[in-house]
Amino acid sequence: FNPLRSYHPDEYYVLKGLANLDPWRLDLKTGLYAWPNMIFYLVGVPLQVASWVGQVRLTHNLTHYYAHPEDLARMYVIGRGVVVVFSVLTVLMVYLAGRSLYEHGVGFLAASLLAVTPAFVIYQHYLTADLVAMFFVAAFLYCVGQVLATQATGWHVLAGVALGLAASAKYQAIVLLPLLPLAQYLGVRPGRPAGRALVKCFTRPMLVGLVLPFLVFIALNPFHLLSLKEFGRVFTGERASVSTVGWSFDARVREAIGLPAKMLSEGFGYWPLILAVAGSLFALFGQVRRDLLLFTGLAIVYIVMGGIGTIYVRHLFPLFPMLVLLASRAVFICADGLRLRPRQQWIVTAVCALLLCPSLYRSVAHIRLFADESVRIEAGQWIAKNIPAGATIGLPDDNWQYDVPPLDEKRYQLIVTGYSARNLKADHPDYVLTNSRQRDPVLVPRTTECEAFWNYLSLSREYVLADEFRKSPYVFKRGWRPPLRWRSLFSLAGLDPSNEDAPEDLRYVNPILYVHRWRGPESEKTGRGVR
């Protein structure tokens, strides 16, 4: 059990990159290419300041952190504090973008929707670059809104810088670049033929705005270009590990359409997503320039990330500012259509508050999960109490920190069987530990061998489920969950916050852990594996 790692597999990646930096010798090469460099610099500065005032000790000697894990814990907290600051700024920027594109009410509702969105709240607790990128995407939307309204040179420049910073936080943000010329075109289109309006787009400010994102990215990530071969190798490998790239063509087409929608229904929220779809339809049929701008950005990200086959909600975060703006826009279009009298405006306020409730409830439930003791600790305590010393414990793959409970490798013999029924039969470990990630066919494709492994473990008489450990978010009060016959109704209302079917990156805080006990003939004779 590695005390240097947290329960999110990517957080340690940031600290690993920072350990490779030596700013006093002007060595800013992290040597890591799966992410751009911005998050390393944003976290590195406050960590250096904290070391100057004696709050943390920065050293390349890893044994110090094994002996003093509290020092590393402070580093995680400081890094997460940076993410929290950017999350607050993102909410503010979404409000400004909504007010600039539409009106105060649209901006306020959009910002409120984002603030209570489950995935947004969950990722405020993690040291990753996802919310940093979302802030700069929101800033880019604000700037292209100003380009649409004014076509001023300064807004082209700021839009290019904002998008370059967004791409320096997460690569996929660069796909929004077409919004800049589209905003220019929509801004000059009224009263002009389409051809003349298109010619008007090719101005010097526009060209500067299109080039700036790449210049900003190069300035912040020069070693990505200097090590282009290594960057390409890592980037390709990372893409393959987080997508359906190995699936058949027809399966990938189906998942490109359906998988992002499923992930958004869990991470963004069921009812807000319906509102965003309604806002998209209004954009298509209403022909309002601002709506078309947002819808185009939404469509680009959805098509690109769906085509890549991403299996993580966090890769869809650039969609969130556009989703909340379109959802808020849909509410106000419907309110305008009702033609309410001034005394009836409270109805709009009440509906908006009601729409926030399911997402707010789900987010609060997940916050309580973060505050509670980890399900891994509970499983580890059960193992220490019930599994005798010297027992063999099988694992389908190498035990990642967020996959398994704490295991004493000196007390138990750990065997990596792979997803192989043949190995499991040959090794017949006394116990086998599995988890919800390993059972997810999206994350671990069900090959014939893998299917045989799970069938042998679950259906044969060789192994029995000794115990399982799960901790779902609470419903209304601690420990209570709606009866099975009510679950569909609660889910439809968005009030069942159980995320057992959610994408993996929303389940890092509460994986489901299973302990299987072998009950073969040897255990009956020797007593091995007896609970």
Least confident range of 18-27, 85-94, 422-431, 515-524:
515-524
Mean pLDDT along residues 517-521: 74
Q: Is the pLDDT of residue 531 over 80?
A: no
Question: What is the predicted pLDDT for the residue at 383?
Answer: 92
Least confident range of 17-21, 126-130, 375-379, 523-527:
523-527
Q: Give yes or no for a contact between 102 and 111, defined as CB atoms under 8 angstroms apart.
A: no
Q: Give yes or no for a contact between 323 and 271, defined as CB atoms under 8 angstroms apart.
A: no
Greatest mean pLDDT among 26-40, 53-67, 123-137, 187-201 = 123-137
Question: What is the predicted pLDDT for the residue at 350?
Answer: 83
CA–CA dist 391, 165 (Å, integer):
52
Q: Which residue has the tokens 């660069």?
A: 174
Q: Is the pLDDT of residue 274 over 60?
A: yes
Q: State the alpha helices, DSSP H only, in 387-447.
A: 421-427, 436-439
Centroid of chain to Cα 250: 26
Q: Is the pLDDT of residue 401 over 80?
A: no
Distance in Å from the first CA to the final CA of the chain: 23
Q: Is the pLDDT of residue 181 over 70?
A: yes
Mean pLDDT over all residues of the chain? 83
Q: What is the pTM of this model?
A: 0.88
DSSP state of 54: T
Q: pLDDT-derived band of residue 522, with 50, 70 and 90 as boundaries?
A: very low
Least confident range of 148-162, 241-255, 404-418:
241-255
CA–CA dist 293, 324 (Å, integer):
14
Q: Give yes or no for a contact between 38 and 14, defined as CB atoms under 8 angstroms apart.
A: no
pLDDT digits (tens, 9 = 90+) for 209-223: 999 999 999 999 888
Nearest in space to 296 (alpha carbons), one of 334, 326, 267, 252 = 326
Least confident range of 35-49, 110-124, 187-201, 273-287:
187-201
Q: How many C-beta atoms lie closer than 10 Å to residue 333's C-beta?
A: 16
Q: Is the pLDDT of residue 496 over 80?
A: no
Question: What is the predicted pLDDT for the residue at 524?
Answer: 44
Indicate the helix (H) or strand (E) that contains 531. none
Per-residue tokens: 143:
């700037």
Question: What is the predicted pLDDT for the residue at 529?
Answer: 41
Helix (H, G, I), strand (E, B) or coil at 6: coil
Nearest in space to 504 (alpha carbons), one of 239, 330, 273, 266 = 266
Count each helix (H run) and each strand (E run) in the chain, helices first.
24, 5
pLDDT digits (tens, 9 = 90+) for 362-392: 888 888 888 888 888 888 899 999 999 999 9
Q: Is the pLDDT of residue 250 over 90?
A: no
Percent of the chain past pLDDT 70, that is, above it, reads: 85
Mean pLDDT along residues 96-124: 93
Mean pLDDT along residues 132-145: 96
Q: pLDDT-derived band of residue 176, with 50, 70 and 90 as boundaries?
A: very high
Q: Is the pLDDT of residue 523 over 50?
A: no
Q: Give yes or no for a contact between 393 and 429, defined as CB atoms under 8 angstroms apart.
A: yes
Q: Are strands 392-395 and 431-435 parallel, antiparallel or unpaired?
A: parallel
Q: pLDDT-derived band of residue 432, with 50, 70 and 90 as boundaries?
A: very high
Q: Is the pLDDT of residue 68 over 50?
A: yes
CA–CA dist 49, 319 (Å, integer):
34
Q: pLDDT-derived band of residue 131, with 50, 70 and 90 as boundaries?
A: very high
Q: Give yes or no for a contact between 184 and 201, defined as CB atoms under 8 angstroms apart.
A: yes
Residue boundaries of the structural domains of the chain = 375-471+510-526
Greatest mean pLDDT among 84-93, 201-210, 470-479 = 84-93
Helix (H, G, I), strand (E, B) or coil at 168: coil
Percent of the chain past pLDDT 90, that is, above it, reads: 33
DSSP-assigned letters across all residues of 477-525: BTT----HHHHHHHHHHT-----TTS-GGG-SSS--EEEEEE-SHHHHH
CA–CA dist 163, 139 (Å, integer):
8
Per-residue tokens: 261:
């929608």
Contacts of 531 (CB under 8 A, 6+ apart): 386, 466, 517
Q: Give yes or no for a contact between 394 and 424, defined as CB atoms under 8 angstroms apart.
A: yes
Q: Is the pLDDT of residue 497 over 80?
A: no
Question: What is the predicted pLDDT for the residue at 252?
Answer: 65
Q: pLDDT-derived band of residue 187, with 50, 70 and 90 as boundaries?
A: confident
Indicate the helix (H) or strand (E) that contains 76. helix 69-101
Least confident range of 140-154, 158-172, 501-515:
501-515
Q: pLDDT-derived band of residue 528, with 50, 70 and 90 as boundaries?
A: very low
